[in-house]
Amino acid sequence: MSDAITNSASNLKPGFRLGKIEWRYAAWFTVAAAIGGVATLYPWVSLGLMGLVVFVGLCWLTLVYIRRADLEIWQVLLLMALSGYLLLNYGFENVAIHIAGIPIIISYGLMYSALAVALVSRRRLVAAGLQEPAVRCILILIGFTSLRLLWQVPHYGLMAIRDATMCLDGLFMLLGLAWAMKKNSLVFLTKWMMLIFALNMLYSFTQPWQEQIWSWSPESGVFLPVAIFGNFNGIGDLLMTGALFCICVGSFVIKRPSWLLQVLIVGQFLGFALAQVRRMYVAAAVVLLILIFMGEVKKFAKLLFLLPAGLIVILLVTSISGIEINGRIGAVNLEFFKEHIRSIHDSEGTPGSAVETRFDMADEALGHFYAHPIFGVGFGQPLLTDIDMRNGAVTRMPHDSSLTFLARLGVVGFAVWIAFHFCIIRAFIHALRQRRHCPDGRLAAFVLWAFLFYVLFMIGSLVEAPFEFPSGAVPFYFFMGLTLGLIRKNFYGKPAQARLTTLNKQLA
């Protein structure tokens, strides 16, 4: 035994050296000790560094996923802009850099860069757009708007361009068409949309702390300083849209666990209770009627059951626990919702803005139309004299996008606007009639969701101004362009006829 120890000791070289594995453990121990020391001495610095590491890690994972998804540069730019519009809405559209007094708007920079790259990489894009009657209508509207701007920009400056974006944003329908031209165009997009709706749901839960978020949020602005975070404009509409997306398309995105999809739907409606948006009460009833008319019994049952389930959950929490949760207008309780629903037809003594105010705004906007009935008042001049007491700015448009189009474009422009919607509805009717024969279930479900999204958006446009803000108009035009492209590609022409012929033979 002593001889073995002696021989082993004689083989040892002088000095102590670590192997590769030991060096690795020592390095990790040193790093962990350094992080622990910094965290102890400077907790806020370490928290910021940790957040930076997480952010960089998420960016890296996003880039890896983008490469695997085979996205082009214009698609990446487009998704960055759409994500900002959908999640941060009014705050994101006001992020700007001022150079020599001229605001460079980041969101529009991303969108127009994406459009330029798409036009270069997809040379058939313009030709494909000209095949769509709705796109032709919007291009006519953009041409009409551009002519008006030639003599109104010298008088009103950037405000004229700002007002004209409600028409100019229609150019982004071409990006929707470009996306539809790609093979398997919906696979990645539906996953991205599910993620956006889930993040919007979580973001909506912070609405009771809106003022605190405003207090620490960085500010930016095109004309006035605006808090980037804490703006929940239109979040109720997006929550309803997200819930319908989960009901229509969610099963193609989230297959397991099955309960997760139901949780996301109920979660959207929990946020809906905080948003307290009257127009979505009406929209929910309209959607239920549409689903019945279209024979979508399962989707109708899900919406009919899960919508009140989400509201009941939050009402039970507030009533049993005694915790008071404040929504956009008032406390979340049964009495508030009863009065809020009653305010749709009788606003006296009820929460929310008075219905009579909407009629006063409509009368003032129509006064501009009566003065300029043929070509409208144009762009740059406010349609109202109402002053926003929060920032001292003039309210530039009534809470009705249709009246804005009528007053600014007159009968000529408004007729083109109506034709645009007629073309969209006709395409939807054609596709929805054939959706049950479509072999691609995800596509058929997406077209149904896109139609419901269109209905919700247009209902909102009758009492609000989503077309006048890029955060509403840009996603709308993109999704309409995408849906029209998918319908043209899959429900018209030889492929669609071939599917119908095969189906008829099978039935015979």
Identify whether residues 43 and 152 lie together within a single domain.
no
> Which pair of structure tokens corresponds to residue 38?
């910094």
Q: Report yes or no on 387 lying in a domain.
A: yes
Identify whether residues 380 and 326 lie together within a single domain.
yes
3-state secondary structure 142-164: HHHHHHHHHHHHHHHCHHHHHHH
Q: Report yes or no on 274 lying in a domain.
A: yes
Q: Report yes or no on 455 lying in a domain.
A: yes
Residue 447: count other Cβ atoms within 10 Å of its Cβ.
Answer: 25
Identify whether residues 183 and 47 lie together within a single domain.
no
What mean pLDDT do residues 406-418 have? 95
Q: Is 29 exposed, middle or buried (0-12, 13-18, 19+ CB in 10 A)?
A: exposed
Identify whether residues 41 and 126 lie together within a single domain.
no
Number of independent structural domains in the chain = 2
Q: Report yes or no on 30 lying in a domain.
A: no
Tens digits of residue pLDDT in 482-496: 999 999 999 886 555
Report which of 210, 249, 255 is spatially closest to residue 233, judged by C-alpha positions. Answer: 210
Q: Report yes or no on 505 lying in a domain.
A: no
Q: Report yes or no on 313 lying in a domain.
A: yes
Identify whether residues 381 and 485 lie together within a single domain.
yes
Q: Which of 34-43, 229-238, 467-476 has the lowest mean pLDDT?
A: 34-43
Identify whether residues 52 and 84 lie together within a single domain.
no
Residue 41 sits in which domain range? 35-69
Identify whether residues 200 and 124 lie together within a single domain.
yes
pTM of the model: 0.84
Identify whether residues 353 and 372 lie together within a single domain.
yes
How far apart, in Å, do the first and last CA atoms of the chain sit? Answer: 93
Q: Report yes or no on 109 lying in a domain.
A: yes
> Which pair of structure tokens corresponds to residue 503?
């189906």
8 A C-beta contact, residue 303 and residue 244: yes
227: CB partners within 8 A, 6+ apart: 91, 213, 214, 217, 218, 219
Residue 29 has pLDDT above 70, yes or no: no
Identify whether residues 343 and 196 lie together within a single domain.
yes
Return the CA Rg of the chain.
28
Helix axes 297-321, 334-342, angle to 10 degrees: 130
User: Which of 27, 54, 69 is at the close of a domain?
Assistant: 69
8 A C-beta contact, residue 287 and residue 458: no
Q: Report yes or no on 8 lying in a domain.
A: no
Identify whether residues 289 and 428 lie together within a single domain.
yes
Residue 178 has pLDDT above 80, yes or no: yes
Identify whether residues 65 and 119 lie together within a single domain.
no
- Integer Cα distance of 497 and 361 in angstroms: 49
Tens digits of residue pLDDT in 360-393: 888 888 998 999 999 999 998 888 877 665 655 6
- Integer Cα distance of 104 and 420 in angstroms: 30
8 A C-beta contact, residue 253 and residue 198: no
Identify whether residues 446 and 328 lie together within a single domain.
yes
